[in-house]
Amino acid sequence: MLSRGRFCGLFASKDLILFAEEFSSSFSDPQAGSWNRTYSYHRVQFFQIPKYRHSQNYAMILSGLEIVTRQLVRNLRHVTQQQQPCGVDLTLSKVSQWTSAATVDFDNTKRQAAQISNLPFDNTSHTITLQPGAYLVDFNETVQIPRNCMASVFPRSSLWRSGVGIQAGVVDAGYEGAMGALMEVKNPNGVILYKNAKLAQIVFEEMGETVDGYSGIYQSSTSSIGRDGTEKAQ
């Protein structure tokens, strides 16, 4: 008769798990009356812990303090008021609207930028009143993205609570220059924005390796205005 015994122990290291268990065996001889004998033995098993690719190269979110210290975001209005735990606030410089159609293709050879018109701020109140619709916004701040980082832009909670959204996609590793975004006013009553209002927050994520970096047409740009496929950065 084989019976499972007690659990003896567990040992774990960085790469191995050792599992030990005790078993006992009892044998009886019917011709020997009540004679019996018990044998005990142990079973030991090793389990290899799988090693995942890039186990040492993990992504990390940079703190606002590190972003400011490394000057990854520049031309800040007020450092202490824009530095946040997980990123840095981006502030409103100008608002534009599109006045023509745009063309987008696969390799940018036929790309045609849409024409835009800048919307003025009130000279007295330094505000702008926007009705529901889509707008192009430029931020005061510029960025310098390291070749081992990427960045994302998110709307501040006070903005989306007001019925306004911000979209800017991924900011590529190696990009340097101006920052802008698509702003959509969903609030049916519109929104009033002050110049230099904090609209968004940029968040930096460190990648597992250094890449060649962005070298496209918008490198070193001074605004978020679209460019034709054959146009060079100014």
Read off the tokens for 193.
């924005």
CA angle 70, 73, 77 (to 5 degrees): 120
pLDDT along the chain (234 residues), means of 10: 50 50 53 54 53 56 97 97 98 97 92 95 98 98 97 96 96 97 98 98 96 92 80 47
pLDDT for res 233: 42
pLDDT for res 115: 94
Phi, psi of 68, deg, nearest 5? -70, -45
pLDDT for res 45: 57
3-class DSSP state for residue 116? strand
| Ordered domains of the chain (ranges, CATH) | 2-48 (no CATH), 60-206 (2.70.40.10)
3-class DSSP state for residue 96? strand
Closest C-alpha among 141, 211, 149 to residue 179: 141
Measure CA of the first residue to CA of the last residue in the chain; give whole Å.
87
Measured over the CA atoms of residue 122, residue 126, residue 132 and residue 136, the dihedral's sign is positive
